[in-house]
Amino acid sequence: MMVTFISQCEKKALNRTRRVLDAFANRIGDNTWQTVITEEGLIAVKTLLRKTVTKNTAVACHWIRSRSRSELVWIVGNRDQFNPQGIVPVNSTTKELIMDIPKQAANPNFLYANTHLQALAEHLFAVGYVAEQLLAHLTLHKTNEMETAFVAGCLHDLGKIDPAFQDWAKNPKKKNLQAEDGQHIDDTKFSFDKHPRHNEISVLLYQLLDPISFKAISTGHKNAIKHTIYWHHAKPYRKEKDPEFSTFGGIHKKFNGNLGSLPFSEIIEKAQKLLQQIGEIDQKYRNTETSLINRIYSETVDLDTLDNIKTTPLPNYKTYELENRIDDYRQQITANALHNLMRACVISADRLISGLSAEDLHEYIKFKNLNVLVEKALSLETNLFSYIQNCLTQFPPSERTTKQSQIAAQLGSVSV
């Protein structure tokens, strides 16, 4: 990758950082360096700068993505010398400038994933794809698990087709607002004590759309999908514990009651159309004629089946039934472990994708560069070895301390 280093160091820190940066990059200005460097080299630069960091140190690293776009990688030292994008401020004002006025207006006919105005179909595909690739590194490319993570990621925010959510996301006053624990929609008249959250609506829609005849995904993996969709946000706190929020039938009753004149069947149709769009994106991205997403939902849904799931409980966070046989207990442990793995990958992917602007997300998909996000997430440096070594110095020499030192050395040599 090609990177640019910007130094805003002062006093003695200026010469110290120059010696480090001169060793790795070409100086193209008094306070600017540029070079082509590997991930390992970039970690080495950051580590060396951190060893001599003081209050006068301020170095920003930018990854040059294209001729017209760069991305902040990290800042070492005083972050106040840069703005949130790693740019050096030359002046400031409290007035609204013309270039600060949002140019992107929400299209009333589009579905959005957040107030960044990421297209919901692109957001869902990207989360599914990145979750699949993250899990591939953890499970040595096991096809069944990878497909499960992909489906769970592509459906995790399906419930955001909720009209109440779309009205909130398209409100220009909420632009770039960050939501806490899935707590979207902050209007005074609105309350999640009486309305399902998007993860609850998502798992309901998957329950209704899942074709029983589709056997390519096993029942166990389908359960993992439902678990991941429902638990990708923490269980909501509600002032009044309403039992209807604990079953599929109850979620439908609450949601349908808040739709007004809009029939629930139209929500189903919107979900089917959205999944079709995700499948098309997947086909184009992978250059294939078919997509798994096109096969995991029914094109016709009999809403009479809602009677069969009125009392069906939503997925449990963990399942342990100690009164069963030990073999059953082992199966439960295996299922819980799979759920943990799926949930971790989808949540991590969701955070990576949600941190992008709508334009950047579109470019990542258009130029098929989502693997770059995966590689970046998996190449973070670790200070585990130094922390353990420091801890070991607090204990007197002994056989146990020696053994711990050996383990610390082994952990420090493992790449993360």
- Report field, pTM of the whole predicted structure over 0.75: no
* CB 345 within 8 Å of CB 135: yes
Domain match, 240 and 315 both = yes
By the 10 Å C-beta count (0-12 exposed, 13-18 middle, 19+ buried), 173 is classed as exposed
CATH number at residue 11: 3.30.70.240
Q: Are residues 306 and 158 in the same domain?
A: yes
Q: Does the pLDDT value for residue 21 go beyond 80?
A: yes
Residues facing residue 119 across a β-bridge: 112
Asked whether residue 144 falls in the same domain as residue 28, the answer is no
Quick check: 178 pLDDT over 90? Answer: no
Residue 70 placed within a domain: yes
Residue 73 lies in a domain: yes
pLDDT tens digits, 241-268: 888 899 999 999 999 999 999 999 999 9
Structure tokens given for 73: 């990688």
Nearest to 126 by CA among 145, 113, 136: 113
Write out the residue range of the structural domain in which residue 8 sits: 2-92
58 and 167 part of one domain:
no
| Cβ pair 250, 243 in contact under 8 A | yes
Phi, psi of 55 (to 5 degrees): -65, -15
- 60 residue type, one letter: A
Note the pLDDT of residue 347: 96
Residues 188, 253: one domain? yes
Of 72, 92, 112, the position where a domain reaches its end is 92
Contact 59, 49 (CB under 8 A): yes
* Beta-bridge partner residues of 26: 34
Are 159 and 169 within 8 A, CB to CB? no
Q: How many CB atoms lie within 10 A of CB 103?
A: 5
Task: Look at residue 382 and tell me if it is in a domain.
Answer: no
Residues belonging to the chain: 416
Tens digits of residue pLDDT in 64-115: 887 778 889 999 999 888 887 888 877 666 554 444 444 567 888 899 999 9
Residue 393 lies in a domain: no
* 130 and 72 part of one domain: no
Same domain, 199 and 66: no
Same structural domain for residues 307 and 353?
A: yes
3-state class of 62 per DSSP?
A: strand
Q: Is residue 53 domain-shared with residue 124, that is, in the same domain?
A: no
> Are 64 and 178 part of one and the same domain?
no
More confident residue, 90 or 273: 273
Does 289 have pLDDT greater than 80?
yes
Residue 32 lies in a domain: yes
Structural domain includes residue 344: yes
Clarify whether residues 213 and 340 are in a common domain.
Answer: yes
Tokens of 226: 């439902």
| pLDDT in the model for residue 96 | 47
Taking the C-alpha atoms of residue 222 and residue 295, their distance in angstroms, rounded to an integer, is 13
Candidates 284, 241, 337; CA nearest to 122 is: 284
Residues 75 and 17: beta-carbon distance below 8 Å: no
Q: What is the pLDDT of residue 83?
A: 83
104 domain-assigned: no
pLDDT for the residue numbered 134: 94
- For residue 171, pLDDT over 90 is answered with no
Chain segment 350-359, per-residue pLDDT in tens: 999 999 999 9
124 and 74 in a common domain: no
Question: Which amino acid is present at 30?
Answer: D
Query: 13 in a domain, yes or no?
Result: yes
Domain end position, chosen among 41, 73, 92: 92
Total tally of structural domains belonging to the chain: 2
> What are the backbone angles phi and psi of residue 381, rounded to the nearest 5°?
-75, 160
Between the alpha carbon of residue 231 and those of residues 226, 247, 346, the distances in Å are 8, 14, 10
